[in-house]
Amino acid sequence: MQLLTPENWRDYELIDSGGFEKLERFGKYVLIRPEPQALWECSLKRSEWNNLSNAEFRKEKNDPEKGKWILKKGMPEQWEFGYAAGEFKIQMRLGLTAFRHIGVFPEQAENWNFTYRTIRSLQVKTPKVLNLFAYTGGASLAARAAGADVLHVDSVKPVVTWARENMELSRLDHIRWVVEDALKFVQREVRRSSKYSGIILDPPAYGRGPEGEKWVLDDSLPEMMHLCSQLLENENAFLILNMYSIGFSALVADNLVNSHFSNTGTKEYGELYLCDKFAKRLPLGTFLRFVR
């Protein structure tokens, strides 16, 4: 089991965490957002949080998943944001949404780096990479920047449009976009006997496809992994499974992958976290990845 945190962020900083919230800097803007795993006390006083922040997300009483942003003067609804690790550089648009998310999960930079490094090392001229539940496309950008032929799948059309904007901001091109239920898409790819050199998955706990298809992680993930085992090339291939939802242990991912993939080559699994300025480590999901 490993504990991993990205170390290349310049535009992002977790300043403080606690009291079920986190204080974060994205570029030059500082946000206060809910964080259910931050059970401990803040290191800074609440008045200091308020002085530092440009915007705060406040949850609705009747729906804890939704809320509204309280903005200070000069705080935009959208802004650009960059990430760089050596030769790998991307640019993204961030935006304040009604679900507290802003278009990037900073802890995932560790998986972006892995994706970029791995694709560059594969003995394949143009690896095909499938990114499922792909959101605004950080992993898609990493794969494309490394030279892969990328297929980006998400069930929410506005999110796919957002990902396309990020591709253009990053001066990349030719990512293929699919607005579809991920499980239905993978089922069809298996029937077509398609093969991929890389598969990246970041499934939610619950979700709906564009035609009302129902995704429940507990019920659907075993079938998804079985299907992915049929799509992944037998060699010169990699897989990344990331899970934030429900608090599953990384051992769940390990057992699940072992039961569906006969060869996992070089494998690692554990937790992703971010560390605030006061050395408190905020857990932000589990991961499993292998290269064979």
Residue-level pLDDT at 34? 95
Could you tell me if 250 and 269 are in contact, meaning their C-beta atoms sit under 8 angstroms apart? yes
Give start and end residues of each alpha helix (H) in 78-216. Answer: 109-121, 138-145, 157-169, 182-191
Q: Helix, strand or coil for residue 223? A: helix
Residue 61 sits in the same domain as residue 119: no
Residue 233, domain member (yes or no): yes
Residue 120, domain member (yes or no): yes
Residue-level pLDDT at 131? 98
Residue 162 sits in the same domain as residue 268: yes
Burial of 215 by CB count in 10 Å (0-12 exposed, 13-18 middle, 19+ buried)? buried
Residue ranges, the chain, pLDDT below 70:
64, 245-246
Residue-level pLDDT at 112? 98
Residue 61 sits in the same domain as residue 112: no
The count of C-alpha atoms lying within 13 angstroms of the C-alpha of 1, restricted to the half-sphere facing its C-beta, is 9
Residue 95, domain member (yes or no): no
Contacts for 200 with CB less than 8 Å, ≥ 6 apart:
111, 115, 129, 130, 131, 132, 134, 139, 143, 239, 240, 242
Residue-level pLDDT at 62? 77
Residue-level pLDDT at 246? 65
The count of C-alpha atoms lying within 13 angstroms of the C-alpha of 39, restricted to the half-sphere facing its C-beta, is 2
| Helices 157-169 + 138-145 axis angle, to 10 | 40
Contacts for 109 with CB less than 8 Å, ≥ 6 apart:
6, 8, 9, 83, 85, 138
Residue 229, domain member (yes or no): yes
Residue-level pLDDT at 93? 98
Residue 89, domain member (yes or no): no
**Domain interval for residue 259:** 104-291
Q: Beta-carbon neighbour count of residue 76 at 10 Å? A: 12
Residue 287 sits in the same domain as residue 234: yes
Residue 18, domain member (yes or no): yes
Choose the final residue of a domain: 78, 93, 114. 78
Residue 123 sits in the same domain as residue 74: no
Q: Which residue has the tokens 């999901």?
A: 285
Question: How many domains does one find in the chain?
Answer: 2
Q: What is the CATH number of the domain that holds 16?
A: 2.60.40.1180
Residue 176 sits in the same domain as residue 240: yes
Q: What is the CATH number of the domain that holds 181?
A: 3.40.50.150
